[in-house]
Copies of this chain bind each other. A is one copy, B any other.
Amino acid sequence: MNYFIAFFSLLFVGITNGQTLKSPDNQLELIFELNQLGKPTYQLKYKNKSVIQPSNLGLVLKNNDNLVDGFEVINAKATSFSDKWKPVLGEEKEILDQHNQLIVELLQKATGRKMNLVFRLFNEGLAFRYEIPTQEKLNYFVIADEETQFSLTGDHKAFWIPGDYDSQEYSYNETKLSQIDVDKLDMNNGIGMKGPMAKSRIQSPVMMKSADGLYLNIFEAAVVNYPIMHLDVYTKSFQMQSHLVPNAIGDKAYLQAPANTPWRTIMVSDDARIILASKMVLNLNEPSKIEDTSWIKPMKYVGIWWEMHVGKATWDYAGSQNAQMAQEAELKPTGKHGATTENTKKYIDFAAKHGFDGVLVEGWNVGWEDWFGNWKENVFDFVTSYPDFNVEEVQKYAASKGVKMIMHHETSGSVSNYERRLDRAFSFMKKHNYDAVKSGYVGKIIPRGEWHDGQTMVNHFNYAVERAADYKIMVNSHESSRPTGYHRTYPNYIAAEAARGNEFNAWSVGNPPAHETILPFTRFLGGPMDYTPGIFEIKMSHYDATKKEQVHTTLAKQLALYVTIYSPLQMAADLPENYERHLDAFQFIKDVEVDWDKTEILEAEPGDYVSIARKAKGKESWFLGAITDENPRNTEIALDFLTPGKKYKATIYQDGKDAHWEKNPKAYSIKTIEVTAKSKLKLNLAAGGGTAISFFPM
């Protein structure tokens, strides 16, 4: 790695309490100021125009102590930083971390307490955090509140979801800031377990667009030992303020100096593609703490999962019986159990035949009869399989076919039970040759009173990943707090759900066609998502004529999602028999890669469309995905990302002539042409449609 570190200024500030810092490209300017009360404030300008007006910074400690005002600047130091690093898995082979940094050291004279504010300006945005250095007057402390303001300059358009402490599985709302109103949302949205909310509280990341075409995004990075930050929106003044998710007794965070908050990030650009291409969040996380990362592998997988969502099979073996402990209750099978040895072998066969790396099996273990909605502590033991799932037999069969099994750990939110059993569960996995786990946290959290987004749970999710690393296990967490780049530090945190995934289309109002064009501007900024694309049998009436639910995309768009969604873990979520009927389209899923050397954001507009091209890791092949919202879209893509002078065979998977996500979602056509870097391709995306293209060098 190359380090280009240069001190460009070192300021000792006496009378003046103001500091400024510019981004490496000089487009962004941060202005730090202490006001007359000694309250720290900041503002942000982009191309000399204000994007964040003067906004307060401060921490409130428990017991009425505060780190809010009465400060003076005792030192300020600016540095410049540029470095490249290589992610274990990722969208790019190499990532540039280039930023200018300002550390403002503050002293609260009346108390003798010290606090540092650290600002980093990247070309695409500002990050800052609070640091409490080691000091005599502050050792252990409890954060009662964080008063970080984001004073926006106007009534921007925002893509937002409510500030639910327990779930992010909402569709995005697209409104003006002034129109944010959680109380007006239709909560009949399929989310089974909702947590506390408030009228004008939303989650971060929140994506915004100003009237004059600026793209703004407020988020956070490196949430470690701290709760998730939601945002209280002042709908008249267009201000937002940090709202930390509390613990069981209302405290926000327990810290010991030296300590720091996560980074608060504000991305700004007049080009939406810059937001999507940004690696700011990753750059703000610590480098990998895992030395040998050779065991961390990208994975494309199939699994016993969608058949439960469409009602063809069940997770549980024994209907509504309480079968927490197999040895205590005689299990009487209902006959619809999905996770049987026999069915698993079929999936293994399918995976082996089509070149998938892994097979996920949900519902393999005892507990599903009585798992949901009861705040029950001891539901699953993570090591006892149902009578019709033979772990050893499956292990042998999978090994004979060269397929890896993916373990499933549903915790039902009982983290106390999971942590107690984690070592046993991981040992069981390794014994049976599982190297990856999908974990689930559906349900009210135990320890009771805690929320999915509180410090306790943030620590749990991170702990589970850290402990998994000791066992060389990769983690894909569902219903966890949404990621903030911690997969840089623990690259075995291979993916997470933590947003509204594809399964909502199977049994609820579903995900509107715009959904997947917003996720890249929100959830994906924090890390890979296990969205589970690839549904070919779009309408649930296929399984049951009375059903009206459907996936809100065309089949071609399902293919394109493999490129527009970045994840080193991607599922081909539909049933093998559905793929067998469309092997031509399925070829794209077989071909597409999940780990990349290079990513080009070709087109992007939140809520409207996204087109991305990616170059396969260590290969010359490229893949392109273009998706649109409910509106059809015609566009022309220049293939100048391809290696000049090389010829490629491009296979284009596109919406059929009359395709429409609702009226005719399965119409698609496939054609193969020869292209070069000089070629341009006209794409015609249906309403709710998409195009997927593979480029193989000839």
Q: State whether A447 touches B375 (Cβ < 8 A).
A: no
- Give residues 419-470 of A contacting B (CB, 8 Å): 419-420, 422-424, 447-450, 456, 459, 463, 467
Counting CB contacts under 8 A, is A554 at the interface? no
Tally of contact residues, A, Cβ under 8 A: 27
Q: State whether B247 touches A448 (Cβ < 8 A).
A: yes
Task: Output the least CB separation between A482 and chain B (Å).
Answer: 23
Complex partner residue of A248 from B139, B447, B459, CB under 8 angstroms = B447
Counting CB contacts under 8 A, is A3 at the interface? no
Q: State whether A463 touches B376 (Cβ < 8 A).
A: no
Counting CB contacts under 8 A, is A35 at the interface? no
**Which segment of A94-102, A155-163, A215-223, A249-257 sits at the interface?**
A249-257
- Give residues 130-159 of A contacting B (CB, 8 Å): 139-140
Interface flags, A99-143, vs B, CB<8A=1, else 0:
000000000000000000000000000000000000000011000
Q: State whether A456 touches B447 (Cβ < 8 A).
A: yes
Q: State whether A377 touches B419 (Cβ < 8 A).
A: no
Counting CB contacts under 8 A, is A416 at the interface? yes
Complex partner residue of A450 from B254, B256, B447, CB under 8 angstroms = B447
Q: Which residue of B lies closest to A141 (CB)?
A: B374
- Give residues 387-429 of A contacting B (CB, 8 Å): 416, 419-420, 422-424
Contacts of A447 in B (CB 8 A): 248, 416, 447, 450, 456
Contacts of A420 in B (CB 8 A): 419-420, 422, 463, 467
Q: Which residue of B lies closest to A257 (CB)?
A: B322
Q: How many identical subunits does the complex contain?
A: 2
Q: How far is the CA of A450 from the CA of B419 in the complex (A)?
A: 17
Q: How far is the CA of A416 from the CA of B467 in the complex (A)?
A: 15
Contacts of A449 in B (CB 8 A): 247-249, 449
Contacts of A467 in B (CB 8 A): 420
Q: How far is the CA of A579 from the CA of B116 in the complex (A)?
A: 57
Q: State whether B448 touches A251 (Cβ < 8 A).
A: yes
Q: State whether A374 touches B140 (Cβ < 8 A).
A: yes
Q: Which residue of B lies closest to A470 (CB)?
A: B424
Q: Which residue of B lies closest to A142 (CB)?
A: B375
Q: How far is the CA of A256 from the CA of B329 in the complex (A)?
A: 15
- Give residues 227-257 of A contacting B (CB, 8 Å): 247-249, 251, 254, 256
Q: How far is the CA of A140 from the CA of B412 in the complex (A)?
A: 15
Q: Which residue of B lies closest to A247 (CB)?
A: B448
Q: How far is the CA of A139 from the CA of B140 in the complex (A)?
A: 43
Interface flags, A647-679, vs B, CB<8A=1, else 0:
000000000000000000000000000000000
Q: Which residue of B lies closest to A447 (CB)?
A: B447
Q: How far is the CA of A33 from the CA of B377 in the complex (A)?
A: 36
Task: Output the least CB separation between A327 and chain B (Å).
Answer: 13
Q: How far is the CA of A183 from the CA of B571 in the complex (A)?
A: 64
On whether A448 and B375 interact (CB within 8 A), knowing A420-B419, A420-B422, A423-B424, the answer reads no
Task: Output the least CB separation between A229 and chain B (Å).
Answer: 20
Contacts of A424 in B (CB 8 A): 423
Q: State whether B140 touches A375 (Cβ < 8 A).
A: yes
Q: Which residue of B lies closest to A463 (CB)?
A: B420
- Give residues 201-233 of A contacting B (CB, 8 Å): none
Q: Which residue of B lies closest to A421 (CB)?
A: B423
Interface flags, A362-383, vs B, CB<8A=1, else 0:
0000000000001111000000
Q: Which residue of B lies closest to A427 (CB)?
A: B423
Contacts of A322 in B (CB 8 A): 256
Q: State whether B448 touches A249 (Cβ < 8 A).
A: yes
Complex partner residue of A448 from B248, B416, B423, CB under 8 angstroms = B248
Contacts of A247 in B (CB 8 A): 448-449
Q: A375, A449, A459, A467 — which one has the most chain B CB atoms within 10 A of its CB?
A: A449
Q: How far is the CA of A377 from the CA of B350 in the complex (A)?
A: 47
Task: Output the least CB separation between A253 and chain B (Å).
Answer: 11
Q: How far is the CA of A374 from the CA of B140 in the complex (A)?
A: 7
Contacts of A251 in B (CB 8 A): 448
Q: How far is the CA of A500 from the CA of B249 in the complex (A)?
A: 30
Other contacts beyond A140-B374, A416-B419: 12, CB < 8 A: A140-B375, A248-B447, A248-B449, A254-B375, A254-B376, A254-B377, A256-B322, A256-B374, A377-B459, A416-B456, A419-B420, A447-B447
5 A–B pairs (Cβ distance < 8 Å), ordered by A: A140-B376, A254-B448, A256-B376, A416-B456, A448-B456
Q: Closest 7 CB pairs between A and B?
A: A447-B447, A248-B248, A249-B449, A423-B423, A248-B449, A140-B374, A419-B420
